[in-house]
Each structure stands twice: as C-alpha cells, then as structure tokens.
Amino acid sequence: MLYGNDFNVIANVSKVIYKTKHINSQLSKEKQNNKTTMTNDDIIQVKDLTKQFGKFTAVNHITFNVKKGEIFGFLGANGAGKTTAMRMLCGLSYPTSGKGLVAGFDISKQQEMVKKNIGYMSQKFSLYEDLKVWENFSLFGGIYGMNRKEIKDRTDKMLKELNFENERNAMVSSLPLGWKQKLAFSLSIFHNPKIVFLDEPTGGVDPITRRQFWEMIYAAADRGITVFVTTHYMDESEYCDRVSIMVDGRIDALDTPQNLKNLYSAKDMYDVFLYLARTAKRS
Amino acid sequence: MMIETENICKSYGKIQAVKSWSISVKANEIYGLIGPDGAGKTTLFRLLTTVLLPDSGKGVVAGYDIVKDFRQIRKEIGYMPGRFSLYEDLTVKENLQFFATVFSTTIEENMHLIKDIYSQLEKFSSRKAGKLSGGMKQKLALCCALIHSPKVLFLDEPTTGVDVVSRREFWQMLKRLKQEGITIIVSTPYMDEAEMCDSIALVNQGEFLRIDTPNGIVSSFDKTLFSVKSNKMHQLLNDLKQYSNALSAFSFGESIHLKVNSPTIKQDLSSYLSDKGHSELEIQEIKPNIEDCFMAMTSM
C-alpha cells in the first residue's frame, strides 16, 4: 500500500492523509476478516434493503441486481428514496435491515472496501476548484492508493482522451462548466473502479455537453465499468440498458426502457415516469 | 413593457457574465430565460432585482430605474433566488408572517394569490423550514415571494433538480399566477420548459442567442431534421456523424436527430445506413424542438 506517498505535492492535505491512513488500516483488517466473493455476473445484489429514520421508512425493502458492465438508470421523484438508497450502496449509510453486496463487498460490514472499489460523482461537488487539473488527479489517485507512476501514466492517458493536455496546469475554477463535468467523470473512474455511481451528473449542463457526457458513459461501459446513474432528464433514461423507478421508498418498476414502455403502453419514458410517480402517496 | 434593459453589461474580473443584453418583457407574460449554467441568467436576475449594479447599460423594472429607483423596485417585485434563502430555523408560518410584515401586509390580505400552493403546505405550518422536503421548500419560497402581491415575479431556476412530475405541476402553478395578472420572468436550464413560456431568450456563456416566441424560434430553423432509428442505436450515432450529408447528429432519447440541408437526401441516407449494416430503419422528417434550435445555435 502506498498511501500518503503522493501527497507531498499538495499542501494542506494532512487531514486527508490522516483519514486515508485510517481507512488503510481498516481496509487491511477487513481484507483479512472477510472473503466475500461475487458468485455470479452481478456487481450489485440487493435484497430487502431498508432504511428507517425514526418512524419514516425512506427505503422500503428494495430488491434488485445490477449486471456487470450495465448502464443502470436509477430514477424516481424527489423524496422517493433514491439518495438514501444510493448512500447505502456507496457505503455511506448503514441499512436498517436487508442485505447488499456491491463489487463483492457487504454494504453493512465492509463499507471501507465498498468505498475503495467504487467511483462516485455528484452534480454538486466533484472537483477541488482551487487545485490545478493535474493536482486533482494526483489527489484522487493518492486517496485511492495508487502509486506515483500509476498516477502519472493514467493522468497522461486521461488528459489525452479528453483533449485536455493543454489544460494540465489550469486551475479547475477557470474551466467552463462543461469541461469540469467531463473532468469530474474522468476523476470518478481514475482508479479503475468496477462500478461508478453518478448522481445527476448532467444537471444544468448545456445540451451538447450533456450528450458528450453520455458518450463518455458509453465508452466507460464498453471498457467494462458498470454505470449506476440518476437523472431528471427522461431522454437520458432511454440511453440506459435497464431502468428502475422508485416510488415511496419502493422499486415499482425495473426493466429495459423498451419493455417498460410496452408494459405501460407509453410512448416514451416520460409517460412511464408520470404514470408511476402519480401513484405516490407521500410528498 | 414591464421590464426593459438596454445593452446591460456585468463582468466579474475578466469574466463577462452578461454581455450587452437588451430584453423587453411585456406586462402579464411568462418570459423564459433559457440556458445552461454559466449563461448569465442569475447575474441578470440580480441586476434586475437591484442586488447588483450594472457596469454599463440601462434597466427599467415596473417603470423604475434599476439604479436610481432601487427602493421602489424592491416593493414591486417578488424574487425567488436559485438557492433556498428562507429562514430555516423559523417555521413555515413564521417565514410567511415575516415576509408579510417586512412588506407591511398580512398573510390574510393576499391569501387569494397563494391559496392553491399554501393549501399543500398548511399541514406543515408549524414545521421548521429547514426540515421541509425539497418540493415543499420550493412551494414555501414561492409563497413568500408572492405574499406582498408583487407586479413582477423573478424565479431563478425554480425547477432545477426537480423531477419531471413536480416540474409540470410547478408550471401549472405559474399559469394560474399569470391569470392573476402577475408578470413572470423565469430562468431554467431545461429546454423542454421553453414551450410553456410566452416569450423566451436563449442565452449561453454571457451571450444572447435569440429572443422570440417559442414558435418563432422553432420556425427559424432553416435546415431539415430527421429522426432516425435502427436496430443498433449506438453504432447509428457514429455512422450518422460520419455521413457526408450530415450537418450534425445528436441523440434524442430513443432516436437520433440528424440535421441535413435538404429532405431530398432521405433515399441516399437510407441506402447509406443499410450499407453500414443497419436494419429496422425508421427515418422520419420532424419539426425541431427548442433543444434542437439551441444546439444548432451553439454548435456553429
């Protein structure tokens, strides 16, 4: 393990280093104690997953699987329980009951291993604005325990793919929003995770960049990375291999976009969503 | 005119957030400012609501100058900023009471304006605003912006991050407010909402692209647009981009929109795609929507 080695390039990250070391020691413990392995082609397996906040059941016995290499759309109205479910899958929140395996690790018992093996990008926070482009790559790579050479090689490769070679030394804050989103996505898969969680990655992004972003998602999926994505753009749900729709804490529909449209005799995914969301009782 | 600006400009350091915009909003219309993040929408709202001073240019809101008459303007307008800006540690009722008092009115006096929206909030009236769900916060913010019966309502991205069903409901609320005689200027990054507006301005990176009615913008699209489907959608996008007659090709949900110069190439397109191994081809000439137009204007 090479935690910390690469942080000397960046000032003021002592807290991160401390936290990383802490995670590191937990990781080795977990590795020794647990030998959970994947039994089939599913990268996510969830059974009766439930989260309660007091009397309120935010996520109510959801059961579903996500296949390796799949683009999985995770839809639902505001307040349906998407964020809570996603936090559990990312190892950020303990389930009240039920089981889940993500990338082969138990989301109730091996949260640090889950975190290490997934990528995550949210619309709100994804990059350090006051660091340069290469410094962001270096920081993320370091946090995920990559060594100096790996970080350098991968940074070169990704900047080339993005056509961002001239922006290597640019401050992130100086980049246009569309570029930032593309950069944030590259960072979320920088450590080659098996699965990446994208939480409304295209919110507020201009229509052309939004489409370029989906081409990046396809490219990642072609390389075998599973993509778990939420969006409020219904056209984007058509680009997913399968889509689930949450209503009042439950998953009320899960299938390919085409099958869902057939099932609800709907002309597009917007109509499918409308039909299901209208059955919601809670607000 | 309820709002008029003339070559209004605002920069932050080197960044020109609003580059010489001239807009006119008629009384009692719903005016949409449509564009992605970084277009300058929020800056324009701050200039018009007298929160920011322009670098140059002029602006008039409800007959008052945005620099000289800022006090009068503040009495006449309701402003719902993009970020939730109510008092989180006050209850729903207390927030409303507070805004009513600040504007020397009472909740009862303008209840008719907010009744529809407030009825959905009423059961939470003693809950702290910070503990409301996103949708409820949005409704409370709208009530607070309306409580003094403003002439002009400024809504800065009220539907960002909101699901499609709630977005549709929100627009229905706006249509009802319009019937009460309120002028509404609303910004949004969602192109599909443009069709709900009487007039729209398409903006991008500080620039004005076009001002018109939604129909006017769509009919100014002077190329041919095909909606194309095949059995291999992902490959189809790449093949269409390589097609010699293609001006642009973009994914649009379950089909791809291909822009070409003339409808006469349909046969050629069909044989090109068959040669590339596509079957179950569906090629249909379609009317563009606002998003097609926006992309045509920004990809030149």
Mind listing the pLDDT tens digit for each residue in A8-40? Answer: 444 444 444 444 445 555 544 444 444 444 456
> Domain check: are B269 and B156 in the same one?
no
Which residues in chain B have Cβ-Cβ distances shorter than 8 Å to A257? 254
pLDDT tens digits, B89-133: 999 999 999 999 999 999 999 999 999 889 988 899 999 999 887
Distances (CA, A) of B84 to A108, B107, B138, B146, B177: 34, 21, 8, 15, 21
Q: Do residues B93 and B128 touch, judged by C-beta distance below 8 A?
A: no
The residue among A191, A142, A189 whose CA lies nearest residue A9 is A142
Which residues in chain B have Cβ-Cβ distances shorter than 8 Å to A209? 36
DSSP string covering A207-222: HHHHHHHHHHHHHHHH
Other Cβ atoms closer than 10 A to B173: 16
Domain boundary among B170, B195, B218: B218
| pLDDT for residue A34 | 44
Phi, psi of A155 (to 5 degrees): -60, -45
Which residues in chain A have Cβ-Cβ distances shorter than 8 Å to B135? 78-79, 283
> Domain check: are B208 and B225 in the same one?
no
At residue A123 the predicted structure's pLDDT band, cuts being 50, 70 and 90, is confident
> Domain check: are B166 and B35 in the same one?
yes
> Domain check: are B213 and B75 in the same one?
yes
What is the domain extent for residue B230? 221-298
**Count of structural domains, chain B:** 2
- At residue B75's C-alpha, the angle toward residues B71 and B86, to 5°, is 105
Inter-chain residue contact A234 with B162, CB threshold 8 Å: no
Torsion of CA A179, A181, A182, A185, to 10 degrees: 160
Write the secondary structure of chain B as one string of H (helix), E (strand) and C (coil): CCEEEEEEEEEECCEEEEEEECCEECCCCEEEEECCCCCCHHHHHHHHCCCCCCCEEEEEECCEECCCCHHHHHHHEEEECCCCCCCCCCEHHHHHHHHHHHCCCCCCCCHHHHHHHHHHHHHHCCCEHHHCCHHHHHHHHHHHHHCCCCCEEEEECCCCCCCHHHHHHHHHHHHHHHHCCCEEEEEECCHHHHHHCCEEEEEECCEEEEEECHHHHHHCCCCEEEEEECCCHHHHHHHHHHCCCCCEEEEECCEEEEEECCHHHHHHHHHHHHHCCCCCCEEEECCCCHHHHHHHHHCC
Amino acid in position B41? K
Other Cβ atoms closer than 10 A to B27: 13
Residue A211 at interface with chain B, using a CB cutoff of 8 Å: yes
Domains in chain A, ordered, with CATH?
34-130+171-277 (3.40.50.300)
Q: Do residues B79 and B3 touch, judged by C-beta distance below 8 A?
A: no
Closest chain B CA to residue A275: B165
Closest chain B CA to residue A80: B163
Which residues in chain B have Cβ-Cβ distances shorter than 8 Å to A227? none
Put simply, the chain A residues between 22 and 61 with a CB less than 8 A from any chain B CB are none
| pLDDT for residue A35 | 41
Identify from A200, A216, A232 which residue to disrupt to test chain B contact, counting B C-beta atoms within 10 A and taking the largest count: A232
Percent of chain A whose pLDDT exceeds 70? 85
> Domain check: are B177 and B234 in the same one?
no
> Domain check: are B205 and B178 in the same one?
yes
| pLDDT for residue B161 | 81
Give me the CATH number covering residue B257: 3.30.70
The residue-averaged pLDDT of A52-62 equals: 96
| pLDDT for residue A177 | 81
The residue-averaged pLDDT of A219-240 equals: 94
Residue B116, judged by CB atoms within 10 A of its CB (0-12, 13-18, 19+), counts as middle
- At residue B288's C-alpha, the angle toward residues B19 and B183, to 5°, is 50
| pLDDT for residue A11 | 41
> Domain check: are B33 and B140 in the same one?
yes
CB burial of A24-63 (b: ≥16 within 10 Å; e: otherwise) equals beebeebeeeeeeeeeeebbbbbeebbbeeeeebbbbebe
Q: Which of B120, B161, B168 is facing A200, going by the closest CB pair? A: B161
Domain boundary among B218, B236, B271: B218
pLDDT tens digits, B226-276: 999 999 988 999 999 999 999 999 999 999 999 999 999 999 999 999 999
> Domain check: are B137 and B257 in the same one?
no
| pLDDT for residue B270 | 97
| pLDDT for residue A20 | 47
> Domain check: are B69 and B208 in the same one?
yes
The residue-averaged pLDDT of B52-74 equals: 97
Q: What is the mean pLDDT of chain A?
A: 87
* Dist. CA B10–CA B47, nearest whole Å: 8
Residue B83 at interface with chain A, using a CB cutoff of 8 Å: no
| pLDDT for residue B37 | 87
pLDDT tens digits, B137-194: 888 999 999 999 999 999 999 988 888 888 888 999 999 999 999 999 999 999 999 9
> Domain check: are B269 and B237 in the same one?
yes
Distances (CA, A) of B271 to B259, B268, B281: 17, 5, 10
> Domain check: are B98 and B9 in the same one?
yes
The residue-averaged pLDDT of A75-99 equals: 94
Domain boundary among B164, B187, B218: B218
| pLDDT for residue A283 | 60
Inter-chain residue contact B163 with A78, CB threshold 8 Å: yes
Q: Do residues B144 and B69 touch, judged by C-beta distance below 8 A?
A: no
Which residues in chain B have Cβ-Cβ distances shorter than 8 Å to A173? none
At residue B300 the predicted structure's pLDDT band, cuts being 50, 70 and 90, is low
pTM (two decimals): 0.86
* Dist. CA A172–CA A210, nearest whole Å: 19
> Domain check: are B208 and B256 in the same one?
no
Give me the CATH number covering residue B165: 3.40.50.300
